[in-house]
Amino acid sequence: MVEAVQVRGSDHPADWWLMRPDGRIECRLCPRLCKLHDGQRGFCFVRRRAGDAMVLETYGRSSGFCIDPIEKKPLNHFLPGTSVLSFGTAGCNLGCRFCQNWDMSKARELDRLTEEASPETIAAAAARLGCRSVAFTYNDPVIFAEYAIDVARACRRAGVKTVAVTAGYITPEARPAFFAQMDAANVDLKGFTEEFYHRLCFAELQPVLDTLVYLRNETGVWFEVTTLLIPGQNDGDAELDRASDWFAAHLGPDVPWHFSAFHPDFKMLTTPRTPPETLSRAREMALSKGLRYVYTGNVHDRIGGSTWCPSCGALLVERDWFELGAYGLDGGRCKACGFEVAGRFERTPGRWGARRQPVHLG
């Protein structure tokens, strides 16, 4: 546990904790179940014991807002071509050595959270800016669940959708309240063995698999899965074969799966970039198991980045990175053969393009 240091900010009452017989408070939000004495912070850094209660320090505070293409989350089957108002806070409940957002997720300086925004302010801004959704992203929204849930509620009142970009590292008792407010999610499946999660994420695989199965079987949340393929760590044929079998058996053929390219970052600076062939090999493996929508990401790859009709093979949504090209869907149906593609589609795609646009809500 991390000892408290002096930081600016207001404490918000936290949910999902209990007082243990030994006098420590146990946080029940994520599978770490941090056990805290007064003044101690959890592993995620932003949840702290204050007296005989837990508090969240990042409620209402953000590291900044940006309008992104929805394809960047990545979500390929959720309102394609639309813009999403994206933000994150600080901290994370995983400890990935390959973190690609470490400046925010590992932030220990809460003073860097410069933007203050109420749930209503965010929902109103999204509507005003023409964003169809708000995304909790850049760092994991599970650790700021109380804030994310309130923002999502405000968004629903304003007719704006919400997207959680998450590692899915959350307890069974917190899952329902969190995902009940979300319209869509992208869940990281970072590797396929407990050994990988222990060694490189300082976490466990099984709770992530449980979250995926929960989303599939017990919610109406539209979700897609992302796996960052790291050379020599999680890209072996045997591992990909096993993972694809599990995916097909537990999530079915219609959940999209994104294989994205690693670039050297954080504590893995000597590991090389993922070769495009590795992404294509993983995609082929997953397709061979009957999965219908498997994508490559973080590379220019028209074949692997586009959506193809599982029935007649027609090009349905052409993509080059985050830019849409030809569009062969009418609503959610293939224009050529009428096959219904899983996802949330409107009659025509959005026209946001690949732009990223920072915005200030103040």
The site for ligand SF4 (CB under 6 A) is made up of: 27, 29-30, 32-34, 42-44, 47, 93, 143
The C-alpha atoms of residue 157 and residue 161 are separated, in whole angstroms, by 10
| SS3 (DSSP) at 244 | helix
The C-alpha atoms of residue 231 and residue 233 are separated, in whole angstroms, by 6
The C-alpha atoms of residue 351 and residue 70 are separated, in whole angstroms, by 11
Can you read off the two tokens belonging to residue 70? 């929805």
| Closer residue to ligand SF4 (CB): 32 or 190 | 32
Q: How far is the CB of 263 from ligand SF4 (least distance, A)?
A: 26
| SS3 (DSSP) at 164 | strand
Q: How far is the CB of 79 from ligand SF4 (least distance, A)?
A: 30
Which residues have CB under 8 Å from 143's CB, separation 6+? 29, 30, 44, 46, 47, 58, 89, 91, 92, 93
Q: How far is the CB of 97 from ligand SF4 (least distance, A)?
A: 17
Q: Are residues 32 and 43 in contact, defined by beta-carbon separation less than 8 angstroms?
A: yes
| Closer residue to ligand SF4 (CB): 27 or 134 | 27
| Closer residue to ligand SF4 (CB): 93 or 166 | 93
The C-alpha atoms of residue 299 and residue 258 are separated, in whole angstroms, by 12
| Closer residue to ligand SF4 (CB): 30 or 229 | 30
| Closer residue to ligand SF4 (CB): 32 or 292 | 32
| Closer residue to ligand SF4 (CB): 43 or 295 | 43
Q: How far is the CB of 14 from ligand SF4 (least distance, A)?
A: 8
154, burial (CB in 10 Å: exposed 0-12, middle 13-18, buried 19+)? buried
The C-alpha atoms of residue 239 and residue 10 are separated, in whole angstroms, by 45
Q: How far is the CB of 94 from ligand SF4 (least distance, A)?
A: 9
Q: Which residue is nearest to ligand SF4 (CB)?
A: 42
H/E run at residue 284: helix 276-288
Q: How far is the CB of 220 from ligand SF4 (least distance, A)?
A: 25
The C-alpha atoms of residue 64 and residue 340 are separated, in whole angstroms, by 38
Q: How far is the CB of 55 from ligand SF4 (least distance, A)?
A: 11
* Strand-pair category, 65-69 with 83-87: antiparallel
| Closer residue to ligand SF4 (CB): 33 or 312 | 33
Q: How many residues does the chain have?
A: 362
